[in-house]
Amino acid sequence: MLKILSFFTPKMCAVRFKTLNKCRTSIGLKPLQDYKLLYKAENIDVSSDTDRDWLMPHWAETFNIVKVGKRSDPTFSREIISFYDKDNNIIERLFRQNGMNTRKEIYSKGYKSRTIVTKEFVQPKIEAGINVPLKLKNLAGRWRDRISELQIIEEYPVLKQYIKGKRTDKSPVGLYTKRVEYSPSGDKDSVRNITFTKYPINFGFQDPSDKKVISGTLVKNGKDVELTDVRKTDNLKIDLNDEFLKYRFIDPRSDEGLRLLTDYFIKKRGLEPLHIYVNPSSGSVSESSLGYFWNGELHYSKRLQKLPSSEAVDTVAHEVEHAYQHAQIGRLGKSESRYETEAERLLPPIETNEIKSAVKYAIARDVYPVKNKSMDNPLYRDNYLEVKAREAGGKAKDMYQANKDNYEFFNWFGMHKF
Ligand SMILES: [Zn+2]
Q: Ligand 1 center to residue 318 CA distance, Å?
A: 6
pLDDT at residue 162, rounded to an integer = 67
Residue 164 has pLDDT above 70, yes or no: no
When mean pLDDT is compared across 13-22, 45-54, 56-65, 313-322, the lowest value belongs to 13-22
pLDDT at residue 257, rounded to an integer = 95
Nearest alpha-carbon partner for 35 in 2, 3, 66, 64: 66
Q: Ligand 1 center to residue 339 CA distance, Å?
A: 17
Q: Ligand 1 center to residue 321 CA distance, Å?
A: 8
Q: What backbone torsions phi and psi does residue 84 show, to the nearest 5 degrees? A: -125, 150
Q: Ligand 1 center to residue 317 CA distance, Å?
A: 10
pLDDT at residue 81, rounded to an integer = 95
Q: Ligand 1 center to residue 273 CA distance, Å?
A: 22
Chain mean pLDDT for the chain? 88
Residue 278 has pLDDT above 60, yes or no: yes
Q: Ligand 1 center to residue 102 CA distance, Å?
A: 51
Which tens digit of pLDDT belongs to each residue from 226-271?
999 999 999 999 999 999 999 999 999 999 999 999 999 999 999 9
164 by Cβ neighbours in 10 Å (0-12 / 13-18 / 19+) ranks as exposed
Residue 8 has pLDDT above 70, yes or no: no
Identify which of 22-26, 83-87, 164-168 has the greatest average pLDDT.
83-87
Q: Ligand 1 center to residue 354 CA distance, Å?
A: 20
Residue 336 has pLDDT above 70, yes or no: yes
Q: Ligand 1 center to residue 95 CA distance, Å?
A: 51
Q: What is the mean pLDDT of residues 123-135?
A: 87
Q: Ligand 1 center to residue 236 CA distance, Å?
A: 37
Q: Ligand 1 center to residue 292 CA distance, Å?
A: 7
Q: What percentage of the chain has pLDDT greater than the value 90?
A: 62
Q: Ligand 1 center to residue 334 CA distance, Å?
A: 20
Which tens digit of pLDDT belongs to each residue from 30-50?
777 889 999 999 999 988 877
Q: Ligand 1 center to residue 328 CA distance, Å?
A: 16
pLDDT at residue 59, rounded to an integer = 86
More confident call, 5 vs 280: 280
Q: Ligand 1 center to residue 350 CA distance, Å?
A: 23
Q: Ligand 1 center to residue 357 CA distance, Å?
A: 17
Instruction: Give the model's confidence band at 11: pLDDT under 50 very low, under 70 low, under 90 confident, else very high.
Output: low
Instruction: Give the model's confidence band at 206: pLDDT under 50 very low, under 70 low, under 90 confident, else very high.
Output: low
Q: Ligand 1 center to residue 43 CA distance, Å?
A: 56
Each domain of the chain, given as residue ranges in start order, spans: 1-98, 104-236, 247-418
Q: Ligand 1 center to residue 322 CA distance, Å?
A: 7
Which tens digit of pLDDT belongs to each residue from 346-364?
999 999 999 999 999 999 9
The whole-model pTM stands at 0.81
Instruction: Give the model's confidence band at 418: pLDDT under 50 very low, under 70 low, under 90 confident, else very high.
Output: very low
pLDDT at residue 161, rounded to an integer = 65
Q: Ligand 1 center to residue 393 CA distance, Å?
A: 9
